[in-house]
Structure 1
C-alpha cells in the first residue's frame, strides 16, 4: 500500500506520498494553523487530497513533543496547542484508520538510519540542532521509544564539564537551567555570540560570517563545536553508537562537524574514538521520510 509521511512543523505541514518500494510520488506543503482543531483539519484535508489522486495509503506523522505512555496525551510540544490533547486518537478518528506517530527527531533518526547518512551503522543516534535540540535512537533499523517514550531526549541534559564562563547557565523553557538546548540550539549560539561580541546576529548569519573569515564568528563556531562534543560525549559514553547524524539548520554551519570530530576524543571514556559524527543526507526531508518509514514492512514498534 502507499504510505503518506507528514511532518507537522511549527510553521508548515509537509506531506509526501510514497508508492510501495519507497518511490516518492508527490509532495504538498501548507502553513501550520495556530490552533488544535484547525491543525487536525488541515492534516485531514492533505491526506484526503493525496488519496483522491493516488489511492488509499497508510499515514505516519512526525510531530514536536511526545505522547505520554500513561495518558495518551501530547506533552512537551513547542506547538503548545497540541499539549494535553489526545492527538493520535483524534487524528485516527478523523481519518478512520490507525495513524502512527513519532517525535520529529525520532523520525529524522529513522530516515537517516534506514537509507541516509547512518545507513552503515547498526546503532545510530540522530540529532536535530535547530530552533531546539532533540535526538532519536535507532538500533538495527528499529526506532527505540523507551519506557517513558523519551529515548534520545538529550537536549534537556545539562551541559557537561562546564567551563568558568559557563557557570551561570541560561534558563531553559522547561523550567531548568543550563540544558544543552540553551547552549547548542540556533538561539543558543546566537545568544553566546551576542554575550561576547554584542549585536544581534542569528545562527545562520554567524555561520556565514565565520565562512567569510570573521574572527569573532569563527570563535563562536569553535566554541559551539567544542560544546557539541561535550554534549555528544555524554550520549556516546552511554549508548556507544556507530554513527551520530547531525541535522537541523545549525548542523549546516561550515566546519562544525569537523570541529566536533576533533574535540570529541578528549571527552570520551575510551582510548579510541570510532563513532563518526556526520552531516545528514536527506536534510529537511528526513522528518517526512521517517514518518513514512513508521509503516515499514518490518513492523517498527510504536
Structure 2
C-alpha cells in the first residue's frame, strides 16, 4: 500500500492507495495547524499515524505548499509561513526512519496525477497544472518529467507579479507574505479572490460571490470577469515561455465551471501572436488529484517498487 499526503492551507488529506487497483482504500482529513512549526508538524504526524494504524505501507509521499531549496534542504515559498526555513523532509524521515519518503510541491503532485491518469493523459509530453486554492502554485511537466529546477522553484507562478497590474486590479500595490509586491497569489488564489472583492464591497466567501453572480448580481459577475482576466494574463505569460499542450486547474476555485469558457476566451490575446488555443480544463480527479500524485511520488523517484497484492 502507498500512503499519500496533500497538505493545504486549511486541511491535511491523507490516503492509502492500493497500487494493484489504483483505488483509495482509506482517506482521512484533518485541519492544518499553522500557528507554529511544531504544531504544524504534529498535525501532519496525526494523519500519518492514524493511517499507519490501518494498513502496512511501502512508502510515504507528501505534497506540500512551497518547495525544497536543493542547496539548503530547507522549505521555501510556502503559504503556510511557519513551514518556511524548516527542514521538513528530514524531520519526516527522522520520525519514520524505516519508510521511504518523498516530498514535492503540492502542485507538482497535481500535475503528476493528472498527466498520468487524469485530464492531461492525452498530452504527449507537456502540461501545466495550476492550483487555485488557499494559495496559488503550479506544476510543470516537460518531456514527461516534472520540472523542479535548480532551486526548487519550477512552477512557482503564484509568486510572479500579476502581469499588467494597474489600480484597476487593486486600489494600491500590495505586498505578499514572500516580500514581493502584487504576486499572482494575491489575486488568483481563492483567498485572493475574496480579498479583492472585500476591498470594494462587504466581505463575502467565494461560493457566495458565485452564487450571487448566478442570480444575476452584476457586481459579482463583474468581479468574476475581472478575476478571469487576471488569470488569463498570468497563464498567457506561461504559454509564451513553455507553450504546454494543456493547462489544468485544481483547488477550490477550479470547481466553478463558469470560469472555464471566460478564461479560455481571454487567454489568446495575452499570448504572442494572439492566437494560442491551449485548452484549459478542470482536474479530472478533483480535490484528490494532489493526494493521488503524492502517493505515487516515491515510486516515480525510484524509492520503492510496487508490490502487487
Return the TM-score normalized by structure 2: 0.88
1:148 partnered with 2:151: yes
Q: Could you list the runs of 5+ residues in structure 1 that have no partner in the other structure?
A: none
Aligned length: 298
Q: Which residue of 1 aligns with 2:84?
A: 83
What's the counterpart of residue 14 of structure 1? 13
1:112 aligned residue: 114
Q: 1:191 and 1:45 mapped to 2: Cα distance?
A: 32
* 2:307 alignment partner in structure 1: none
The one-character-per-residue Cα deviations of 1:5-57 (angstroms, maximum 9, x if unpaired) are: 01123333221111223222111223334443454445445445434433232
Distance 1:82 1:210, change over 3 A: same
Superposed displacement of residue 208, structure 1: 1.3
Measured after TM superposition, the shift of residue 216 of structure 1 is 1.1
Q: Indicate the residue corresponding to 2:94 in structure 1.
A: 93
Q: Do structure 1's residue 186 and structure 2's residue 190 form an aligned pair?
A: yes
Within 5 Å, which residues of 2 pair with 1:1-302?
2-21=1-20, 22-34=22-34, 35-96=36-97, 97-121=99-123, 122-163=125-166, 165-166=168-169, 168-196=172-200, 198-270=201-273, 272-296=275-299, 299=302
TM-score (norm 1): 0.90
CA distance in 1, matches of 2:77, 2:150: 16
The separation in 1 between residues aligned to 2:181 and 2:84, in whole angstroms, is 22
Deviation, structure 1 residue 283? 1.8
Distance 1:10 1:263, change over 3 A: closer
Shift in Å at residue 157 of structure 1? 1.2
Conserved 8 A contact 1:207-1:254 = no
- Aligned partners of 1:105 and 1:136 also within 8 Å: yes
Aligned 8 A contact 1:3 1:58 in 2: yes
Cα drift, residue 183 of structure 1? 1.9
Give the Cα–Cα distance (whole angstroms) in 2 for the partners of residues 188 and 123 of structure 1. 28
Q: Distance in 2 between matches of 1:108 and 1:236?
A: 19
1:271/1:43 Cα in 2 relative to 1: closer, same or farther (>3 Å)?
A: closer
Q: RMSD between aligned alpha carbons?
A: 2.2
Q: How many angstroms apart in 2 are the aligned matches of 1:253 and 1:50? A: 31
